[in-house]
A and B are shown apart, each in its own frame.
Chain A
Amino acid sequence: MLIAVLSCFILACFAPWLHRLGGRHSGWLLALLPATLFAYFASMLPTISQGQSLQFAYAWFPGMGIQLSFLVDGLSLLFALLITGIGFFILAYGGRYLEKHKDLGRFFVFLLGFMGSMLGVVLSDNLISLFVFWELTTVTSFMLIGFNHEQEDARKKAHQGLMITVMGGLALMTGFIMLGMAAGSYELSTILNSDGLTEHALYLPMLLLILLGAFTKSAQAPFHFWLPNAMAAPTPVSAYLHSATMVKAGVYLLARLNPGLGGTDTWLLMLTLFGALTMLTGIFLASRATGVKKVLAYSTVMALGTLTMLLGLGTETAALAAVTFLLAHALYKGALFMVAGILDHSAGVKDFTQAGGLRHSMPKTTVVAVLASLSLAGIIPLFGFVGKELLLEAVLSASKWHIGLTIATVIANILVVLVAAIVALQPWFGAVVETPKKPHDPDIALLIGPAVLATLGLVFGLMPFIADKGLLAAAAGAVYGQPVELYLALWHGINLPLMLSLSSLLLGLLLFKVWSGWRQLTNFMHSAEKIGPEVVYERLMLGMTQFAAWQTNTLQNGYLRNYLITTLGTVIIVVGWALLRVNQLELNISFQDMRVHEVAIAVLLIFSALIAVLVRSFLAAVAMLGALGFGVALLYVFFSAIDVGITQVLVETITVLLLVLVLYRLPEFRSLSSTANRIRDAIIAGMTGLLMTILILAITGARQLEGISDYFLQNSGPLGHGRNIVNVILVDFRALDTLGEIFVLALVAIGVYAMIHLRTGALPVTNSDRRAAFNLRRTQKDKAKADAKAEADASAVASKGEE
């Protein structure tokens, strides 16, 4: 089983090379894999149709309860057969359809990758591995929608589809996490058999999150707009991902979880409401569209809505109706999309209004199109008819709101007939219309897929027991949660569903007669679309980027002083807040032991700091900073830390000298700040200073413990062999610190060396060039002096913005 799923990915990796090997028939070559897989899954039919299920598990990430476990029952087998079966035709079809496209090799990569992911979704037993595959279908779908990536439109729509489905995906993941917490396991086989999920405290949030994921994936209103936009993908992709398989992943998930999470009022309300809404929105928009793929895409939205609605009802009939409708839809919609591709490929027709009378030049295609459309319209004896009868029966027997739902379904059916009539009649019959290409029936690779699928629609319709033969019942049983007793039949007798069906057929055909009138009548949609969900989505995206730009310009504004203000402000707020929480803040203030020279030094320190801030000349400020430093050194000396005092004196001397040397080249202070700014800065500086003072006083007041210093006092002589304790600490007790600091000095040296020599347009430094460089430098020296002033001005300005 694992091999079955992974084989698609492995083949995908080698697809570009196999494509080169296979040449013109590479599609057929690669299609061997889905054919094999189809046979493999078909071999499970006997077991599954008896209502049993198969499980396979492989360890992956047991720490988080994630394993690659697979569950094959009626529902997953139905999907797996659809994925591999239709996938077989799509690969053959795609190979021919995109024969001359330079990226065909990459197309196969993504299509096979998608196939593996989709199989993973429907076969996974573990919710998290299901989610992994789910996201992979999203990514491969993105790559395929944007397949013609040099067109801006395709890129934009791929991006849109990705954002919508990933948003849902993230919600889904969170929902799965909650579901896993509630059920104590991520295994579907356990979850669906556990009781009390619907009473769990997390039921509502989990349900809503999972529904968001399923609804976005399955293009339910108001997220339906990404699906028609996804038609930017090549037609084989539309046929496969965006009608037959991927968009049904959401529906699959709802069907899968129905036994565990379904049956509540919230479930019923959400699913039937959004389902019915989507059904009507989809078919209404389909009836107004004229682009071939648009019409089909919107009618897919309708089908997805219908399926969601049926799953919401949750009755036995509804479950059977859902799986039947799903199979019927996959067959006819897959066929119709491939026909749409043929129309484009062989006649250059992309819009229904551009075509007519093609039955003469494309007779075989016409037959296929009509057959599939009849199933779409739900006309006896096609399989679509069976699905539609069950749908009406399920709606009529709904436990709540059955009148409203029936009306909605009938209206949808009328429009479905209209759409089916457009597809079945418009391009093929009537007067011949000039097409961009000379129309002809296509090659077998293009025609076989739709032909087989459309024929299956007829066969299953005439002999529903073939399709039934346990599989659909088993699938419906998996949806319903217990074995389903119903059976499929073409003829249910003359009853209410049949009457409703017939009347919608008539009304739909009437509507087709006045199709252009209908489109004009509903022109108000143009203005309605301006406030539609797609516009909302785009506004949101625009708003997000605008807000992001505003926020970033506000925070990351390029001014170092603002950064410092914010940083110090954070210190004041957070540390100040923590200080305020201290119950009894004991500040160790006592002036009793103070001696005169200490007071004198303190006064000196305060004054030099103040003057350094207030004075207008650089030199004076530097001198004052020096005074401050020497004052601190004096303090060290008076408190018997002679070594530290000496070090401080040295550091201060060098710093002042260096600063004076540097400042010699800089211009005078210029006053650029307003008074308000100065006051603000003074407040922040003052508060920071105050905070630090309080901290020091508070800590010296709170000291309660004996430290490690006694150890150093006692052992520096006997063990460290030195009488200067500071020295012993530096070179022995804490030698690693000193080692680190030595390297810091080395690093500073490298940095300074590089900073001085390595500038853009720096002077050459190799030995042979030294002399030349020296001469050059002399000539440049005078110029440099003149430049220095200008440069300093410029850098002051430049530091305002990082751009």
Chain B
Amino acid sequence: MDLEVLVALPIIIPLLLGALSLTVLSNHSAQRWLGAIGTALLLLCSVWLLLHTREVGIQVLEVGSWPAPFGIVLVSDMLGAIMVVLASITGFATALYSLKTVRKRFERFGYYPLLHLLLAGVNGAFLTGDIFNLYVWFEVLLVASFALLILGGERAQMEGAIKYVTLNLLSSALFLTAIGLTYGLVGTLNMADIAVKMASLEDQKMVTVIASLFLIAFAIKAAAFPLFFWLPASYHTPQVAVSAIFAGLLTKVGVYALYRVFTLIFTADTGFTHEILLWIAIFTMLTGVLGAAAQFEVRRILSFHIISQIGYMILGLALFTPLALIGGVFYIMHHIIVKANLFLVAGLMYRLGGSFELKKLGGLYRNHPGLAVLFLIPALSLAGVPPLSGFFAKFILIKAGVEASAWWAVGVALLVGLLTLFSMIKIWNEAFWKASPEPNPAVPAPTRNALLYWTIGLLAAMTVCIGLFAQPIYQMAEMAAAQLLNPAGYIEAVLGGTTP
């Protein structure tokens, strides 16, 4: 069997699932089964793809058998395959969590199809080797996320969604402009081909201009400073399961796109592009964490922390050394799982404590010690407490920073780690340690939370394992970083021996 088709499965499976669930929109149980089993299947295929890519090397599928660079190619290199696995993990966890939390009327209005298609968009973005096709997947995930964001139709949701969609459309417009300019300059859309042709140009400065346009378009998607406004405006408004998948995946698509183009295509003028990235990283870390320090609502705190963590990931790219890229990829792996989980935990805190406001929460440690443990694992990991996953992610990045003598970045990264802990302990002290402000809650806490506990526990176990067994994760990140730093391998795999 020709295993190249494997590359398309992480896109095809959720597309099919989305279409299937649309046809059974009024059959709740069918939708749920499709959600849980379908995402599990997706996860299996993704893991298979990752293992296959790790063993055999970069996998390329020429869609419709049109040869590169003329047709569209799907490419699974280590970074892409890792991202797909992470997306599938998040999707699976969200689907499980949704089984118990999503209301029937939301299911009736397409919750599950939207979820599947969102995953299709995300996986498509991770796997495509074509810059315009990347734009298409961005559109898929933007529209899917917009529809998920407004599901429920509350005023706060609408308001957040308007800001979300306006700023993201601006990003899409910039992205499209950049694609147009690229096509105008080199007359091709295949990313490997663009890389080859751009490198052959005499005037690299014009290439840098286009690079800067891509940089801003993706930085908006990644919610980097000073372009992150859409994220804190909207992420706290939808249902928790939706927030969780957004927190885990959406901004990371932007980060992934930055990693892709600024390692494959735009590497000639790193003195300009990567220096800008470095300062973006520094301010993103700082403004994000300070934003969180000013919040007293769990989901808002977590939303701002997404931003500050994005800074760390961009830092890995900006330093652009082998170790820094390893650190960046490691950070992404750690972050997606931890962040999605924290939102899921926040949802359970809401179910059991009756609020997202720190002022109104309390007594969770006394009454729900299991939840307390499951909060502490991702929260401390986010803050970089060893031996959890976040510690090694931060450690690698800081070591890379020290080696590169990027003192500002190192200093800020350390400070932000401390302030992240500050925020997490704020939640812990108020929601868990503090006695419950109301001795007898008016609404009895919903029971039958076992599935939610299992979902959160699964992700928490992954966080612990990434920490305790960091070596295999590191090896994958190392392979991904090596492929990124040596784009010739990617280009060779896509274009074959036909490179001019």
Contacts and interface: CB of A to CB of B under 8 A. Distances in A.
Interface in B399-434: 399, 402-403, 410, 414, 417-419, 421-422, 425, 429, 432-434
A798 B163 CA distance: 13
B291 A556 contact: yes
Interface string B471-497: 100110010000000000000000000
A525 interface: no
A574 B276 contact: yes
A708 B188 contact: yes
B143 A174 contact: no
Interface stretch (B50-58, B228-236, B349-357): B228-236
Nearest to A737: B136
A132 B151 contact: no
Nearest to B435: A150
Contacts of A799: 159, 162
A539 to B, nearest CB: 15
Nearest to B234: A802
Contacts of B227: 566-567, 570
A578 B208 contact: yes
A757 B133 contact: no
B140 A743 contact: yes
B187 A64 contact: no
A683 interface: no
A709 interface: yes
Chain B interface size, under 10 / 10 to 19 / 20 to 34 / 35 or more: 35 or more
Interface string A539-551: 0000011011101
A10 B174 CA distance: 54
A613 interface: no
A699 B181 contact: yes
Contact of B197 (A583, A705, A737): A705
Contacts of A584: 203
Contacts of A567: 167, 170, 220, 226-227, 229
A661 interface: no
Contacts of B19: 746
A62 B478 CA distance: 13
B120 interface: yes
A159 interface: yes
Contacts of B128: 736
A556 B215 CA distance: 22
Interface in B235-253: none
Contact of A702 (B72, B158, B206, B366): B206
B360 interface: no
Contacts of A732: 64, 66
Main secondary structure of the interface of B (DSSP, over half): helix
Contact of B226 (A163, A566, A575, A748): A566
B152 A581 contact: no
Contact of B183 (A163, A575, A707): A707
A544 B291 CA distance: 11
B398 A173 contact: yes
Interface string B292-307: 1111000000001000
B414 A743 contact: no
A703 B133 CA distance: 22
A178 interface: yes
Interface string A732-769: 11111101110110111011011101111010010000
B106 A758 contact: yes
Contact of B475 (A63, A131, A547, A765): A63
Contacts of A166: 418, 421
A802 to B, nearest CB: 5
Interface string A153-182: 001001100110011001101100110010
A734 B72 contact: yes
B441 interface: no
Contacts of A702: 185, 201, 203, 206
Interface in A168-203: 170-171, 173-174, 177-178, 181
Contacts of A566: 226-227, 229
B386 A135 contact: yes
A149 B190 CA distance: 59
Interface string B123-147: 0100010001100110110011011
B48 interface: no
A563 B169 CA distance: 13
A6 B200 CA distance: 58
A123 B320 CA distance: 36
B186 A707 contact: yes
Contacts of A552: 290-291, 294-295, 304
B212 interface: yes
B102 interface: no
B117 interface: yes
Given A166-B421, A555-B291, A564-B167, A171 B414 contact: yes
Given A61-B471, A707-B188, A136 B386 contact: yes
Contacts of B453: none
Contacts of B385: 135, 139
Given A139-B380, A171-B414, A750-B113, A737 B159 contact: no
B87 interface: no
B44 interface: no
B205 A581 contact: yes
A24 to B, nearest CB: 22
A757 B108 CA distance: 11
A578 B209 contact: yes
Interface in A683-698: 692, 695-696, 698
A241 B190 CA distance: 61
A136 B380 CA distance: 11
A555 B226 contact: yes
A61 B399 CA distance: 15
Nearest to A764: B105
Contacts of A568: 170
A63 B474 contact: yes
A773 interface: no
Contacts of B475: 63
Contacts of A765: 108
Contacts of A743: 15, 18, 117, 120, 140
B209 A744 contact: no
Contacts of B366: 150
B391 interface: yes
Contact of B478 (A63, A155, A158, A571): A63
Nearest to A202: B402
A304 B71 CA distance: 71
A147 to B, nearest CB: 10
Contacts of A551: 287, 290-291, 294
B170 A695 contact: no
A700 interface: yes
A138 to B, nearest CB: 8
Contact of A544 (B64, B156, B233, B293): B293
Contacts of A747: 114, 117, 140, 143-144, 147
A128 interface: yes
A560 interface: yes
Nearest to B231: A556
Contacts of B177: 692, 695
B431 to A, nearest CB: 12
Contacts of A760: 152-155
Nearest to B474: A63
Given A177-B398, A743-B117, A755-B150, 19 more contacts: A62-B471, A132-B387, A158-B429, A170-B418, A174-B414, A545-B293, A552-B294, A553-B294, A556-B291, A563-B233, A575-B212, A699-B181, A708-B188, A733-B66, A733-B70, A733-B71, A740-B136, A743-B140, A762-B153
Q: Which 10 A-B pairs have the closest CB atoms?
A: A707-B187, A751-B147, A759-B153, A149-B433, A740-B136, A754-B109, A548-B293, A563-B229, A132-B386, A548-B290
21 contacts: A60-B471, A142-B425, A155-B429, A178-B402, A544-B293, A551-B287, A563-B167, A568-B170, A574-B212, A581-B272, A702-B201, A707-B188, A732-B64, A732-B66, A734-B133, A740-B121, A740-B139, A743-B120, A754-B110, A758-B105, A760-B154
